[in-house]
Amino acid sequence: MKDILTAPFMIEMIRTTTNMYNHGWDERNGGNISLLLNEAEVREYLDTDRVLRTIPTGFKAPELDGKYFLVTGTGKYFKNVQYAPDVNLGLVRLTDGGGNAELLWGYSDGGKFTSEFPAHMMSHVARLKVDPENHVVMHCHPANLLAMTYIHTLDEREFTRTLWQMCTECIVVFPDGVNVLPWMLCGTNEIGEATAEKMLTARLVVWSLHGIYGAGKDLDETFGLIETAEKAAEIYMKIAHLPRVNTITDDMMHQLEARFGVKGREGYLS
């Protein structure tokens, strides 16, 4: 059996949490990540018959029965993951229709998965329906996207169009746009269900006055998705109070669609 700390998925998770902390997106215990793993890759590092603990999830997700996830722990700081991965991360297998999580590795101080586990698992179910290659759900608190939800309409078309107008390549990176939830109580099954519903039509879901969720095939791609949206929001926050002299027009965006072979969300461009 190989050392799990040498697994590419573990190294990538540690690098990503560290990088997110360094970007200022994950103050204190802010943010959480879940990474879907293949059974074969887990078996290279762990005896999958050796269950350390069984932790109830409080929801059902039969589509994920038997699936393995590497998940950040609740109350844990992204900045500390690199120093103590076995305390701050856990590897679980969902069982009983998603009602229980069998801990195979990690949470070694007696901890458990993120309080946002419902939103993560329900989002995985939604994204896997759209894209079977989706492996990552990522949540964080980037300052500019968060700031934008205080001063910009939360209308999804308007919110998306504003972000697309802030950097030329935004429409190329997230042609599906950004969906937006109103403020809701975090950590609940209700916000999980609402997030998953939004994940059916876009890989980015803003939680107003809280943060953002991103989904993608791997950690790099998902990080890049949030990074691009956050850069656009940063530009918006720099110029929102100033007269706009120039902008990226819908005609320019149609040119980008043609050049990069993407299609902006239906009805979002004129």
Q: Which residues are annotated as catalytic?
A: 116
Q: How far is CA 226 from CA 84, 139, 263, in A?
A: 25, 9, 19
Report d(CA 270, CA 258) in Å as an integer. Answer: 15
| Piece of the chain touching ligand 13P by CB under 6 A; list 110-118, 130-138, 142-150, 245-253 | 110-118
Q: Give the shortest CB-118-to-Zn ion separation in angstroms.
A: 13
Q: For residues 249, 159, 212 and 119, what is the CA-based torsion angle, rounded to 10 degrees?
A: -120
Label residues 47-66 b or e (16+ Cβ within 10 Å = b). Answer: eeeeeeeebebebbbebbee
Please identify which residue in 10, 25, 30, 222 interacts with ligand 13P, judged by CB under 6 A: 30
Q: SS3 of 100, please?
A: strand
H helical segments located in 131-184: 143-151, 156-166, 170-173
Please identify which residue in 51, 55, 186, 240 interacts with ligand 13P, judged by CB under 6 A: 186
Please identify which residue in 116, 156, 176, 230 interacts with ligand 13P, judged by CB under 6 A: 116
Nearer to ligand 13P, 187 or 224 (CB): 187
Q: Which residue has the tokens 């007269």?
A: 243
Residue 74 binds: one of ligand 13P, Zn ion, none (C-beta under 5 to 8 A by kind): ligand 13P
Site for ligand 13P in 208-247 (CB under 6 A): none
Q: Give the shortest CB-28-to-ligand 13P separation in angstroms.
A: 8
Binding site for Zn ion (CB under 5 A): 211
Binding site for ligand 13P (CB under 6 A): 29-32, 72, 74-75, 114-116, 139, 186
